[in-house]
Structures are given as C-alpha cells and as structure tokens.
Amino acid sequence: MTPGDGKPMLSGIKVVDLTSVVFGPYCTQTLADLGADVIKVESPPMGDVFRWAGKPGATPGMGPGFLALNRGKQSVLLDLKKPDDLATMKALLADADVFVSNVRGQGMERLGLDYASVRAIRPDIIYVHCVGFGQDGPYADLPAYDDVIQAASGATSLSKRVDGGAAPRFIPSLIADKVSGLHGAYAVLAALIHRMRTGEGQLVEVPMLEAFTHFILLEHLGGHTFDPPNAPTCYARQVDPNRQPFPTSDGYVAIAAYGDRHWLSLFEVLEASAFLERPELATTTDRFHNMALMYHEVARLTPGLTTAELLARCEAANLPAREARDVDDIMDDPHLKATGFFQRRTHPTEGDYFEMRPPVKFGAMPARAPSLPPKLDEQGAEIRGGQRGPA
C-alpha cells in the first residue's frame, strides 16, 4: 500500500544536468529514479563521452555504460559557446530547482554559468559543483578522473598490502566516481530540505578527492587516527592476505567470521573444534589477535567440501556465507532473480536490454518504470523550442 499523493518523491523537482562520464550522471540518475525531472545538457558533437564506453547496441553512442547511468533523463545538445544555445541553457536554469555541473570553475566563469551568475537568474537555485578537488586547496583547478583520485587517496596502495606486490594498483571499478556520485545525491537532497525550511538556495561543492579519501580512510586511517600514531595505518582484518574467499573442491565461498561466536561455529561446521584448543587461541582475545592463524586453517580444511556442502553447513549454523560468483554469472543469482533486480526493458532503437532496479525501496513511493535512456539530443528540438514536457 502506497500512502501519500501517489507521486514519486521528487516529483516537481527540475534538475539541469551539465555532467558527463560517471560521477555527475550517477548523482543525477539517482535523482531521476526518485522522480526528479532531469534535463541532460550534452556538448557537441559526441555528447557525453561515456556514450561511447563499451560496445553499443544498434546506435553509435548508446553504449552499455551510458544506458546504465542515464535512464529517466532527457537529452539536449547545446554548444554553450554559441549565444543562442547559451540563452537556451539560461532559460532552462530560470525555472530549475537544481543545477549539477562537473565543468571546472574557470570554464563555468568563462561561460557566465558560475554560481553568482546562475543565482542572478534563479535566486534560490541549488548549485551543485562536482569537482575533482576542494576549491580551497592547491589542487583546485586540476583535472581529475577516477584513476587519479584512486591514486591520490591512497586506494591504489591497498592491494599490495594484501599480496606483497611492489606496484600500486587500481581497484578494478570506477569506485571513486560512484562513491562521489552518491555523495552528490545526498547533498542535493539535504540542500532541498534546507530550501524547503528556509527558502534559501546555496552553492554545494562535492569534491572527489575528499569524498573518496573519507570513504577509504574510515577504517584504513587505523592507528594514525591518534596523535601521535599508536599503530600502522589500515584495518588489519581488511589487508590480511589470508582473509580471502575459501577454496572448496569445486569453487570458492566467502565466509564472514566476524565475531568470536562465528569462529567457534565455523570450526564446529568444519568438524575441527580441536584446533581452537591451541594455547594461542584459548580465549576470545587470543582468537581476535590471531585471526590469521584461523583463516589459514579454514583455507586448509574447506577444499574437503563442495561449495554446496559448505554453504548448506554454514546456513544451518547461521554463518554469513555465499558463493564467490564470477561476474559473468551474477545474473543467474537466484536471489537477484527472485527480487527482479535485473529487469528486461525494450528500447525503441536499441532493442531489449537489462536494467538494474534502484536498490532502495520507499514505502511511500509507487513503483514506476522511468523513461528510457535518451539518444543524443532526443528531446533537443522540444527543449530548444520551449515545448519540453516532463520525462
């Protein structure tokens, strides 16, 4: 049962989206999923560069990465260096609630789209600037992408702490972009609440380096939390080379033996409780400080079981455990199938494709299928002519 007015939670909120790649588009797609009217402003001739990431469907510029990040939006192609297109942009901003941009500050000033200029057009605008680095520091005007932020934040040093390698390595995911995009989405929601309460718009800065460093160091600042440091950086559990999915006779299983009761249960499951009688594992504290020893022994024992056998034993003992799936097989996961996480949709030009359902459910927001990802400039004629309707 859906109470309230039956409308999406951000119904009536207009967002002008001058972002590309992942950071900004992930933020604005989250807003679109909540019902905001998002107008994606793209630059000629190719539009958002992420349109071209991966093999496209039937149409060039409709790659899988773009489809995954731009549902629920309308696309207009504007060359903001041309007076007529800049005038169209300013007309869009005149009745916008939110403006999200990842163009560097100097570029926005040259276009006359900096915060002061946009505020003159719409005094209560929420102006969200997605930047690589905080604008009050020495890196303020430097360009940034996910790779750069992973390196600058220290994230590329984590893998070598696990396996002893010498070279820093990227986490194989656009994780800095996506984390920063979620920071941008909650920043917009907080600013909207502030405006509802006070009538005041504001400039909101979302810097990638600060957002991702905050994310990484929540656990990994470690002993350097204290002044002077009382231990090394990093959460030892996370960089323990023994803490990996455990091998079985036919695959791998991740078992999260987090608390002491989990360890006791796990060794019961493996019919090896006698191992815990060793002097260095005699107490809860001893076991906490000697987890590496227990991880190593579990990894020695689990190959004696199949994946199905180990999972069944863990489930019977209420131990958190799942098969370590290959990403190629994730769409076959029975839980994700049952919940309808991967939804088949049909695009009028790209044909059938799979879309991941927004993971958060709201009891007061009706289920809805947002509009399909737009082709480049799909709504351009209507928007430039002032005839645009909601997505």
Residue type, 139: Y
In the predicted structure, residue 315 carries a pLDDT above the cut 70? yes
Nearest to 185 by CA among 50, 9, 7: 9
Q: What is the tens place of the pLDDT at every residue in 74-126? A: 999 999 999 999 999 999 999 999 999 999 999 999 999 999 999 999 999 99
* Domains defined for the chain, CATH in brackets: 14-215+339-384 (3.40.50.10540), 246-323 (3.30.1540.10)
pLDDT band at 391 (very low <50, low <70, confident <90, very high): low
Q: What is the tens place of the pLDDT at every residue in 207-250? A: 999 999 999 999 999 999 999 999 999 999 899 998 999 999 99
* pLDDT-above-90 percentage for the chain: 91
Task: Give the CA count within 13 Å in the CB-facing half-sphere of 280.
Answer: 6
Residue type, 140: A
Buried-state track 319-351, b at ≥16 Cβ within 10 A, e below 16: bebbbeeeeeeeeeeeeeeeeebeeebebeebe
In the predicted structure, residue 340 carries a pLDDT above the cut 50? yes
Average pLDDT (157-184) is: 96
Q: Which two tokens stand for residue 3?
A: 């109470």
Sequence-ordered list of residues with C-beta below 8 angstroms from that of 202, at least 6 positions apart, any chain = 126, 127, 191, 194, 195
Q: What is the tens place of the pLDDT at every residue in 249-305? A: 999 999 999 899 999 999 999 999 999 999 999 999 999 989 999 999 999 999 999
The pLDDT of residue 1 is: 47
In the predicted structure, residue 164 carries a pLDDT above the cut 70? yes
The pLDDT of residue 389 is: 58
The answer to whether 339 and 49 have CB atoms below 8 angstroms apart is: no
What 8-state DSSP symbol labels residue 328? G
The radius of gyration of the chain from alpha carbons, rounded to an integer in Å, stands at 25
| Omega prior to 45 cis, within 30 of 0 | yes
In the predicted structure, residue 48 carries a pLDDT above the cut 60? yes
Q: What is the tens place of the pLDDT at every residue in 3-20? A: 678 889 999 999 999 999
Q: Give the whole-angstrom CA distance, residue 261 versus residue 317.
A: 11
β-pairing, 252-255 vs 246-247, is: antiparallel
